[in-house]
Chains A and B, each alone.
Chain A
Amino acid sequence: MRALFYRDLALALRAGGGFGLGLAFFLIVVVLVPFSVGPTSELLSRIAPGALWLGALLACLLSLDRLLAVDFEDGALDLLATSPLPLEGVVAVKAAAHWVTTGLPLVLAAPVLGVLLNLAPGGYGVLVISLALGTPALSMIGAFGAALTVGIKRGGLLMSLLVLPLYVPTLIFGAEAARRAAQGLDPATPLLFLAGITGGVLALMPFAAGAVLRVNLR
């Protein structure tokens, strides 16, 4: 299990693109926001929490199609399926590696990009906490979407259609927590809801993803 985790990490780090690409995408989305709504600083600071959350979510989505597809094409996934590790575990580990290479850098970069969008001073801490709580759920849900579409050629667009509606609750609570904190309100309730969703997703989603993957490898 650990070996698989390190293998995925190493592949993501060395195979070019995977690691930095999500981060660069996040940066570009955030830079494009002022171009689309105008550079007024009050307006920007009002939409900053939501824009940062949306950017992080899209950056997460972007790297999903590589999560399983590469291993599916070169047959590594078949080997993993015959290994003693159950497929549920494989999916969970791969989602964890995806989170470390995509979600974690996004969490760390978010405060820096928050400066660009003139985020209110109170919002930084909670923004980081809410992203740290929410992005594991994004990775795990994304792993389910990737498992669902792994057998389909050019399934990337279809996967976005399937995954984005599933992201709705996470986005609502995460962005709500960041918004409340930025406005000086108490963010505890949405943060607790967010943690609950992430916990539930991490506990149950590997089983759905494993079942789907088993169908696709049949």
Chain B
Amino acid sequence: MSLWEYANPVKFLSLSERVMPWLWVSSGICLAVGLVWGFFFTPDDFRQGSTVKIIYLHVPAALMAINAWFMMLVASLIWIVRRHHVSALAARAAAPVGVVMTLIALFTGAIWGQPMWGTWWAWDPRLTSFLILFLFYLGYIALWEAIEDPDTGADLTSILCLVGTVFAVLSRYAVNFWNQGLHQGASLSLDKEENVADVFYQPLLVSIAGFVLLFLALVLYRTGTEIRVRRTRALMARENRVA
């Protein structure tokens, strides 16, 4: 019994079908609890007023936008090394979810930035590198769409993902050099004393958990769809050959 057994599409599908209802329900509960708690049962910040509450959407979305790319990187590596089709399809399935998370983070940031910084957009390192991450996602998805042969597509996109990761990290630090930012430091970290205050911290954790579960559920769901599309195509090809 090892993890690699789930590289078999049948096993993967049966597992994901058992797990998915739990994921959907628990992510729904976490999101509902985290957002309602965050929006209605926490005090307003004494400087930011009620705008502070957008943190419950902004921070988890930004977190997942980066982690989705990271998950694609791991899946691409698994595809390059062990050539499990499920892994390539999972990377493909995660990309649009990551794009949406990036957009949510950018838009909620703009909505918060307008009253707080007095501007929708600033060329701040964090904002800029997120925009660049968004471009990388677009390029990755466009390359998948452009290639007809699925194995070639998987190979090319996984190498693009590796190269893109290096350049995304490079850009992250390059823009730091280029402009000092408006964006505040990390809201959460394990090794730092200065996190956001406890009243905001607990609902934030719940809504982050909700976003993580939602992401997992969406990726499993979309991977399942990709596997079935692949199967349908194989069946149709066989039909044509018989007829």
Which A residues have a C-beta under 8 Å from some C-beta of B?
144, 148-149, 151-152, 155, 158, 161-162, 164-166, 168-169, 172-173, 176, 190, 193, 197, 205, 208, 211-212, 215-216, 218
Contacts and interface: CB of A to CB of B under 8 A. Distances in A.
Given A172-B174, A208-B162, A166 B167 contact: yes
B159 A211 contact: yes
12 contacts: A148-B160, A151-B147, A151-B152, A158-B139, A158-B146, A165-B139, A168-B174, A169-B167, A169-B171, A172-B171, A173-B174, A215-B156
A23 B178 CA distance: 28
Contacts of B174: 168-169, 172-173, 193
Interface stretch (B112-120, B130-138, B185-193, B222-230): B130-138
A128 B82 CA distance: 46
Interface of B: 132, 135-136, 138-139, 142-143, 146-147, 152, 155-156, 159-160, 162-164, 167, 170-171, 174-175, 177-178
Given A164-B135, A215-B152, A215-B155, 4 more contacts: A148-B156, A158-B143, A161-B142, A169-B170
A161 B170 contact: no
B177 A165 contact: no
Given A152-B146, A158-B143, A193-B177, A168 B171 contact: yes
Q: What 3 A-B pairs have minimum CB-CB distances, sorted nearest first?
A: A169-B174, A215-B155, A165-B135
A208 B159 CA distance: 7
Given A172-B175, A197-B170, A212-B159, A162 B143 contact: yes
B77 to A, nearest CB: 13
A190 B179 CA distance: 13
A176 B143 contact: no
Contacts of B178: 172, 176
Contacts, number: 72
Contact of B139 (A162, A176, A193, A212): A162
Contacts of B170: 169, 197
Q: Which of B132, B142, B155, B170 has the most CB of A within 10 A?
A: B170
B142 A158 contact: yes
A193 B152 CA distance: 35
A190 B177 contact: yes
Contacts of B167: 165-166, 168-169
B149 to A, nearest CB: 9
A215 B159 CA distance: 10
A63 B173 CA distance: 29
B163 A165 contact: no
B152 A216 contact: yes
B146 A166 contact: no
Contacts of A173: 174, 177
Contacts of A216: 152, 156
Nearest to A194: B174
Contact of A144 (B135, B147, B155, B163): B163
Q: Which of A168, A173, A197 has the most CB of B within 10 A?
A: A168
Nearest to B134: A165
Given A158-B143, A215-B152, A166 B164 contact: yes
A151 B160 CA distance: 15
Given A152-B146, A152-B147, A218-B152, A162 B160 contact: yes
A162 B146 CA distance: 12
Contacts of A169: 167, 170-171, 174
A172 B174 CA distance: 7
A44 to B, nearest CB: 21
Contacts of A205: 163
Q: Which of B135, B138, B146, B162 has the most CB of A within 10 A?
A: B146
Contacts of B156: 148, 212, 215-216
A168 B138 CA distance: 15
